[in-house]
Amino acid sequence: MKIYFAGSIRGGRRDRDLYRRMIQHLKRNHTVLSEHIGDMTLQKVTTDEEIYRQDTAWLKECDMVIAECTNPSLGVGYELAYAQTLGKRVHIFYDASRTGLSAMLTGAGYYIIHPYRQEEEVYPVLDDILRENSADLRRISPQHAPRVAL
């Protein structure tokens, strides 16, 4: 499964260690297209236009979006809305002991929202999401479609 991970970059990097750990957890059995979000240095220099083109291409390519939204970010908000227009499944995590989530996300009725208070709560939920979505993808994948003997 291809996952687009969204987390704050220009909005603040306070949670980059958490992003890295979440991405490593996801990468055990899946592809994370945007794994650079957890990069501690983010030294790669690129233009804003290149970032936009790459991120929107990854959003089109991914099977699901997982976002950590404790730190507010305009870019992440845009990515979530863009994913919604593409009909992608979007799971949003946020630390409810540190922040509230935007009413534009909670009120949309589209996003699957996972508040947590301790980081340890995140990983079992991620495992459940991955298990559920992997099963869904197998059901709709042509390679898993029933074969008809001729």
Cα–Cα distance measured from residue 44 to residue 50, given in angstroms and rounded to the nearest whole number: 12
Tokens 């009909």 map to which residue?
A: 87
Question: Could you state, in chain order, the average pLDDT of each consecutive group of 10 residues for the chain (150 residues)?
Answer: 92 88 94 82 77 94 97 95 97 96 94 97 96 67 37
- What single DSSP character describes residue 107? T
**Burial class (CB within 10 angstroms; exposed 0-12, middle 13-18, buried 19+) of 141:** exposed
CATH top-level class of 2-144: alpha beta
Cα–Cα distance measured from residue 96 to residue 117, given in angstroms and rounded to the nearest whole number: 6
| Global pTM exceeds 0.75 | yes
pLDDT score, position 67: 97
Strand pairing partners for 32? 3
* CA angle in degrees (0–180, nearest 5) for 142-146-150: 110
Secondary structure (DSSP) of 50-68 = HHHHHHHHHHHH-SEEEEE
As given in the structure block, the two tokens for residue 77 are 């908000």
Parse the chain into domains and list their residue ranges. 2-144
